[in-house]
């Protein structure tokens, strides 16, 4: 692990924040782009969960919560570290304040709305999110400090409408190479963990999760796909919690003891989550103990009451116990003994013992704080803290059993009521977390959502566990705004499809086709399959260029042959005279003063067309043109010629083969001296000597077959030397046009004959 010296920007809303250099884990990965994970909240702390994941130009944010212990802007994640307009998606695991309450601010008060990013959460989470955020606004409106109001009801409504609801196990494709799938996380109704895939790299973000089945929720499930990175909560560190049955017995005993001594029992709860679980437990316990049925049990939250409709709607996402009871028309949420306390002022009229579940969970505000201050001075009363208590909140302060508590109205209140903690927070303890991490089997584990001390102990314990098994594991505990950079070696696999995949290829044999890249994946296919498999189609671009020219058509041919060696004469579809250069570019005579170059565009044809254009544009100013147009000229046309020059008794039109033979012989004689042949006429039975040159050095002979251009000799050294010279001769003599199409020397065999 190496630390770089680069510094990050400090968020302006927290001037005391000290930015940390990024952690970089180096591994040989070639040119592979790194995965960067930056915690904007919940990095070595609990609260304001917000995790930014970046890879190959894609940016995903998981959760956007507020810190319950901080007011106003200070409760937000370090949002200044991100250009929100570049975020592709925000994935919200569940509706709790520390995971979702910053969402209206980010969606409505930042430049997130200037980008193309979307927000995703499960259907149940979206339903409860709207209720909890409206309740947050209501509570903030009671605060006279305007700076503490981050957003209003209009912002919440707008953010809710813009949120996309998804189902568990639904494969959501966001954009090229970016997709995710939600899985059950337990914890609370609608909670999910996300398997995120970016360009083939898989990241599992757990959020808060539970591996213990309670009265209504399923446990967190193990995804069928192994991730490369697991970003995992570490709330309880190395603590081991009592089993479910033991916790329930301790809880009901505590409640019973408080009310039996004539006291009032306060349970601070979130409006959704373990509040419903505790209501189910108390309703069942009261039904089994008639002696307690004269003691009222209240849930003092209108939001709790409205939320029960959501719970009844999403029964199909709960465990088999709840589903089977609903199937028998036994609604477990129709409580017999737990009642809604619509007007909390009625508690003042009730002087006897009672049980009250009230929000907020952390008792920093709300009815739970009011009741705490009212009941704190009576030793018969008691508080049972049933969830995780975040550092800096009243719930955490109470656990230290102070002599006095601070009143929101000012001054101190003596604390005489009893304080006990029995966690039903639906987080994993060490044993559950450790086992789940091992079952997931990720290469890298990133611990988040835990206090620094607990997180450090958990990391050490996990390393010891793996070490005893002879295994290594990479465990990271990044702080807020401290980028974690991971590099992976990823294989690039090309899939052959269509007709290319009809037969299994033999190892080592080349495959030819079109390589199609889409969403960071590669496909090889035959061009004729392109439309069927990709929806794409091929097309040919034909380019044309007209050129004014003031010379005879035969002069144009002379110049083209001078450059390319030979051209093919013909006519186009409209009957106009044309020359074809190197089987690629056509020069058409449009009129006596205009020619047109035509070619199918590709890299090689474009190069030939450029050179032909240069030749044609230079014809008018060429001194050779002046000479050719003032005197008779000699140049070969296929089948006719101008002038009367002859070579070795042959006209120019028939001399190409003899001239090439003479030039080859010239090369051979320059290197070897005596060269005979070729024989253009041989006797019957001696056909093997037709068009053969003989090289002789000190009685050692090498035969050169001008038809096949093969060399035969009893001397390997002479054969090798002659082959080298012959190759040099052919390369030198071969016209440019033949070099391009890959043909050899064209032999004129019209004058070769076999005589009897």
Residue 721's SS3 state is helix
In terms of C-beta density within 10 A (0-12 exposed, 13-18 middle, 19 or more buried), how is residue 208 classed? Answer: buried
Helix 244-260 vs helix 274-288: crossing angle, to nearest 10: 70
How wide is the angle at C-alpha 352 spanned by C-alphas 349 and 353, nearest 5°? 125
Q: Which residues pair with 524 in a beta bridge?
A: 496, 515
Q: How far apart are CA 428 and CA 241, in angstroms?
A: 9
User: 220-224: long-range contacts at Cβ-Cβ below 8 A with a sequence spacing of 24 or more?
Assistant: 220/183, 220/184, 220/185, 220/186, 220/187, 220/193, 220/428, 220/436, 221/183, 221/184, 222/436, 222/439, 222/440, 223/181, 223/183, 223/193, 223/195, 223/440
Residues in contact with 204: Cβ distance below 8 Å, sequence separation at least 6, in sequence order: 193, 194, 195, 196, 223, 227, 229, 230, 231, 440, 442
DSSP line for 476-496: E-PPBT--EEE-------EEE
726 closest CA partner among 705, 742, 699: 705
What CA–CA distances, in Å, run from 418 to 255, 270, 278, 282? Answer: 11, 21, 19, 20
Query: Quick one: DSSP state of residue 292?
Result: G
3-state secondary structure string across 79-121: HHHCCHHHCCEEECCCCCHHHHCCHHHHHHHCHHHHCCCEEEE
**Residue 427 a catalytic site member:** yes
Write out the two tokens for 37.
Answer: 């994970």
Q: Where are the extended beta strands (E) located within 138-177?
A: 163-166, 172-175
519: left (phi over 0), alpha (psi -120 to 50) or beta: left
651 closest CA partner among 733, 731, 750: 750
Residues in contact with 195: Cβ distance below 8 Å, sequence separation at least 6, in sequence order: 180, 181, 183, 202, 203, 204, 223, 225, 227
Q: How far apart are CA 756 and CA 754, in angstroms?
A: 7
119 closest CA partner among 66, 174, 74: 174
Q: Which residues pair with 484 in a beta bridge?
A: 23, 37
Q: How far apart are CA 444 and CA 229, in angstroms?
A: 5
What phi, psi does 562 have (nearest 5°)?
Answer: -65, -30
Write out the two tokens for 726.
Answer: 């012959």
Of the candidates 427, 444, 476, 559, the residue annotated as catalytic is: 427
CB-CB contact of 361 with 395 (8 Å): yes
Q: How far apart are CA 755 and CA 689, in angstroms?
A: 12
> Which run of H or of E encompasses 754?
strand 753-755
Residues with catalytic roles: 427
């Amino acid at each position: 692990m190496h630390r770089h010296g680069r510094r990050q920007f400090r968020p302006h809303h927290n001037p005391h924040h000290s930015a940390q250099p990024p952690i970089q884990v180096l591994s040989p990965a070639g040119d592979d782009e790194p995965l960067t994970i930056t915690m904007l909240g919940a990095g070595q702390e609990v609260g304001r969960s917000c995790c930014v994941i970046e890879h190959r130009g894609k940016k995903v944010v998981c959760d956007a919560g507020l810190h319950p212990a901080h007011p106003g802007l200070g409760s937000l994640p370090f949002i200044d570290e991100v250009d929100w307009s570049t975020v592709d998606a925000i994935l919200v695991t569940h509706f709790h304040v520390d995971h979702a309450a910053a969402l209206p601010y980010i969606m409505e008060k930042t430049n997130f709305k200037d980008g193309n990013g979307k927000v995703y959460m499960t259907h149940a989470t979206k339903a409860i999110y709207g209720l909890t955020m409206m309740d947050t606004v209501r509570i903030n409106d009671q605060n006279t400090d305007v700076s503490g109001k981050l957003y209003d009801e209009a912002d919440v409504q707008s953010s809710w409408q813009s949120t996309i609801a998804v189902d568990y196990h639904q494969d959501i494709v966001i954009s090229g190479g970016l997709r995710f799938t939600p899985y059950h996380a337990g914890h609370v109704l609608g909670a999910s963990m996300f398997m995120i895939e970016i360009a083939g790299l898989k990241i599992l973000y757990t959020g808060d999760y539970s591996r213990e089945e309670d009265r209504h929720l399923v446990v967190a499930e193990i995804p069928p796909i192994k991730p490369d990175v697991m970003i995992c909560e570490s709330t309880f560190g190395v603590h081991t919690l009592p089993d479910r049955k033991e916790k329930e017995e301790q809880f009901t005993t505590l409640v019973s003891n408080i009310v039996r001594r004539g006291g009032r029992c306060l349970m601070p709860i979130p409006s959704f989550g373990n509040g419903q679980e505790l209501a189910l437990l108390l309703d069942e316990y009261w039904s089994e103990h008639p002696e307690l049925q004269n003691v009222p049990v209240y849930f003092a939250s209108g939001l709790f009451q409205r939320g029960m409709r959501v719970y009844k709607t999403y029964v199909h996402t709960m465990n088999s116990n709840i589903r089977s009871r609903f199937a028998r028309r036994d609604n477990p949420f129709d409580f017999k003994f737990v009642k809604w306390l619509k007007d909390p002022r009625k508690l003042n009229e009730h002087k006897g013992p009672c049980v009250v579940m009230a929000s907020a969970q952390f008792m920093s505000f709300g009815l739970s704080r009011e009741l705490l201050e009212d009941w704190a001075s009576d030793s018969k009363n008691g508080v049972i803290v049933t969830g995780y208590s975040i550092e800096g909140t009243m719930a955490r302060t109470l656990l230290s059993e102070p002599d006095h508590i601070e009143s929101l109205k000012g001054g101190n209140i003596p604390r005489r009521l009893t304080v006990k903690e029995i966690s039903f927070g639906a987080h994993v303890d060490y044993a559950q977390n450790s086992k789940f991490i091992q079952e997931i089997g990720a290469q890298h584990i990133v611990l988040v959502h835990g206090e620094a001390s607990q997180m450090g102990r958990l990391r050490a314990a996990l390393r010891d566990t793996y070490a005893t098994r002879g295994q290594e594991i990479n465990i990271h505990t990044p702080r807020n705004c401290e980028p974690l950079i991971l590099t992976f070696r990823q294989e690039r696999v090309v899939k052959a499809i269509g007709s290319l995949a009809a037969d299994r290829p033999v190892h080592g044999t080349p495959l030819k086709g079109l390589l199609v890249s889409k969403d960071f994946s590669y496909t090889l296919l035959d061009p004729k399959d392109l439309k069927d498999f990709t929806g794409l189609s091929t097309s040919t671009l034909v380019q044309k260029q007209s050129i004014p020219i003031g010379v005879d058509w035969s002069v144009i041919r002379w110049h083209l042959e001078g450059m390319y060696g030979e051209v093919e004469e013909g006519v186009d579809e409209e009957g106009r005279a044309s020359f074809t250069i190197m089987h690629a570019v056509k020069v058409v005579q449009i009129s006596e003063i205009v020619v047109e170059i035509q070619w199918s565009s590709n890299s090689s044809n474009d190069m030939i067309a450029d050179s032909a254009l240069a030749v044609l544009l230079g014809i008018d100013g060429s001194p050779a043109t002046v000479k050719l147009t003032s005197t008779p000229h000699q140049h070969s046309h296929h089948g006719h010629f101008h002038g009367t020059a002859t070579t070795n008794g042959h006209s120019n039109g028939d001399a190409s083969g003899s001239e090439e033979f003479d030039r080859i012989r010239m090369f051979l004689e320059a290197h070897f001296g005596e060269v005979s042949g070729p024989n253009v006429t041989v006797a019957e039975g001696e056909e093997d000597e037709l068009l053969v040159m003989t090289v002789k050095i000190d009685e050692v002979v090498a035969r050169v077959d001008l038809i096949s251009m093969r060399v035969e000799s009893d001397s390997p050294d002479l054969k090798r030397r002659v082959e080298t010279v012959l190759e040099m001769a052919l390369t030198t003599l071969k016209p440019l046009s033949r070099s391009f199409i890959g043909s050899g020397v064209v032999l004129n065999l019209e004058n070769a004959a076999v005589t009897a």
